[in-house]
Amino acid sequence: MRILILGGDGYLGWPTAMHFAALGHEVSVIDNYLRRNIARETSSEPLFEAPNLIKRAALFKELTGHSIEVFISDCADYDRLAEVVQKTSPEIVVHYAEQPSAPYSMQNRHTADLTIFNNIGTTFNLIWAILEHAPDAHIIKLGTMGEYGTPNIDIEEGWLEVNHKGRQQKFLYPRQAGSLYHTTKVLDTDLLWFYVRTYGLQVTDLMQGPVYGLSTVESDLSQDLMPNFHYDDIFGTVVNRFLVQAVAGVPLTVYGGGGQTRGYLNLKDTLQCVELAASNPPAKGELRILNQLTEIFSVNELAEKIHRVGNSKGLEVTIKSIDNPRKELEEHYYNVEHSGLTELGLQPNFMTDEVLGEMLDTIIKHKAAIDVEKILPRVRWK
Ligand code: USQ
């Protein structure tokens, strides 16, 4: 298949590109290094610097024989994106090209502005580039479980059957996101749903929980093919952060009460889920929504796990609750339907002690590069 990946330089984008290329697909990526630039501007550099896309694609070709075509271009610029879509004529587009950090979106007016215009603009441009240049392409959009928030009822897989005054209809499941970033994902879904029902687009929206991991079959080939790995308060996700904190000897930063509960998944499973979505497309004119997570933990449970595994490796891990910089429920109901991807064949890679231990071993090799100044929260919601 011809596959175009928007945001191909990212934590998920680059491993996805290698994975599809290794499977023998014709893969192109587009990225303007927005995340790299924002990370530099906010002193949030990753644990190790990944070579640029051109160099990574050349190394991947040298090691595996598989090509990845690279376009350094901005998806928020319609003409540039349309040109790439026209040139690559994709059958599948995987859309990761968004500012992905909740804290960044909440920092100030400028960061809020960039998040909203970049994220919505990119999705809007993609929709039009597909309508005009590749109308039969399947769009696989990375959404987030954070679109649903933490409602006091079960979270269904995208849709809710509503019975009202004796009549019934299925609607998008109610959304109440906890940051501006997560809200842009809600708006993306609405935009896609409008174009699906009006213009017959073919879309999968993957509602993904926080991802952890460093290793994939392809990234294990070389340090220079590894995904960029953030542990700072702005781009780092909680599991990756806690593991780096364990190695650095910094108390694990549980925000507030630590009862915040989310659905997690291994980076390897993100690749599996995107592949399953690609090989099992929805019908034309269908918005298929899949909840993408494999296990549910509270922040306290994660901290306890990493405390236990870290200590078994001789690290002196401690846990400390700190004032929560976010506005979120710290104790809440959380029961999520997520059978769609399992039915398509997902074989989860669970967060075992061994998996956490291997991640700790990799991070220990980079211990000298950890900057503890990047760990405590610098952005507050209030
Ligand atoms: N948390 C801590 N301590 C930390 C960091 C986070 O207690 O040091 C807590 C947060 O308060 C939150 C939970 O851990 O309750 C998850 O936070 P996170 O930073 O791992 O994840 P989040 O900001 O929600 O965003 C991440 C990705 C985002 C993706 C989302 C999926 O950055 O792109 O969409 O995970 S989800 O959380 O399901 O919305």
Q: Concatenate the DSSP letters of all residues of 225-250 into one string.
A: GSPP---STTT--HHHHHHHHHHHTP
Residue 382 lies in a domain: no
What value does the mean pLDDT take over residues 51-79? 98
Q: How far is CA 58 from the centre of its chain?
A: 25
Q: Which atom of ligand 1 is nearest to the CA of 144?
A: 34
Ligand 1: which atom is nearest the Cα of residue 185? 34
pLDDT for res 382 = 79
Tokens encoding 355: 């998996």
In a domain, 121, yes or no: yes
What is the per-residue pLDDT for 207? 98
The position carrying tokens 């929260």 is 377
C-alpha 313/C-alpha 360 separation (Å) is 9
Q: What is the pTM of this model?
A: 0.97
Q: Which of 62, 1, 61, 59 has its CA nearest to residue 26? A: 1
pLDDT at 11: 97
**Structural domain of residue 109, as residue ranges?**
2-374
**Amino acid found at 262:** R
User: What average pLDDT does this structure show over 231-255?
Assistant: 98
Distance of CA 368 to the CA centre of its chain: 27
pLDDT score for 12: 98
What spacing in Å lies between the alpha carbon of 12 and ligand 1's midpoint? 16
CATH of the domain at 17: 3.40.50.720
Minimum CA distance residue for ligand 1 atom 18: 237
Cβ pair 291, 157 in contact under 8 A: yes
pLDDT surpassing 90 at residue 159? yes
Dump the DSSP string for 281-341: PPPTT-EEEEEE-SEEEEHHHHHHHHHHHHHHTT----EEEE---S---SS----B---HH
Q: Is 144 a catalytic residue?
A: yes
State residue 178's pLDDT score. Answer: 98
Nearest 5°: phi and psi at 5?
-115, 120
Counting ligand 1 atoms within 8 A of each CB, the residue from 142, 231, 299 with the most, and so the one to mutate, is: 299
379 inside domain: no
217: phi then psi, degrees, rounded to nearest 5: -55, -45
Per-residue confidence band for 379, with pLDDT thresholds at 50, 70 and 90? very high
- Section 162-169 average pLDDT: 98
47 DSSP assignment = S
Q: Is the pLDDT of residue 306 over 90?
A: yes
3-state secondary structure of 41: helix
Per-residue pLDDT for 242 more than 90? yes
Report yes or no on 159 lying in a domain: yes
Catalytic, 148? Answer: no
Residue bearing tokens 């699906």 = 196
Any domain includes 228: yes
* Interatomic CA distance for residues 344 and 61, integer angstroms: 30
pLDDT tier for residue 228 given thresholds of 50, 70 and 90:
very high
Q: Which of 42, 88, 122, 144 is catalytic?
A: 144
Residue showing tokens 């220079």: 224
Given 148, 181, 231, 334, the catalytic residue = 181
DSSP 280: S
Residue 315 lies in a domain: yes
Question: Per-residue pLDDT for 64 more than 90?
Answer: yes
The angle subtended at Cα 207 by Cα 202 and Cα 213, nearest 5°, is 120
Residue 370 · residue 247 · CB < 8 Å: yes
The answer for residues whose C-beta is within 8 angstroms of residue 162's C-beta and 6 or more apart is: 168, 169, 170, 171
For residue 248, give every residue at least 6 positions away whose Cβ sits within 8 Å of its Cβ, in sequence order, or none.
367, 370, 372, 375
Tally of domains in the chain: 1
100 Ramachandran zone, left/alpha/beta (phi>0; psi -120 to 50): alpha
pLDDT at 85 over 90: yes
**How, if at all, do strands 261-266 and 295-298 pair?**
antiparallel
Across the range 185-201, mean pLDDT stands at 98
Pocket test for ligand 1, best of 42, 145, 262, 270 (most atoms within 8 A of CB): 262
Answer yes or no: is 49 within a domain: yes
Whole-number Å distance between alpha carbons of 107 and 233: 12
Domain assignment of residue 189, yes or no = yes
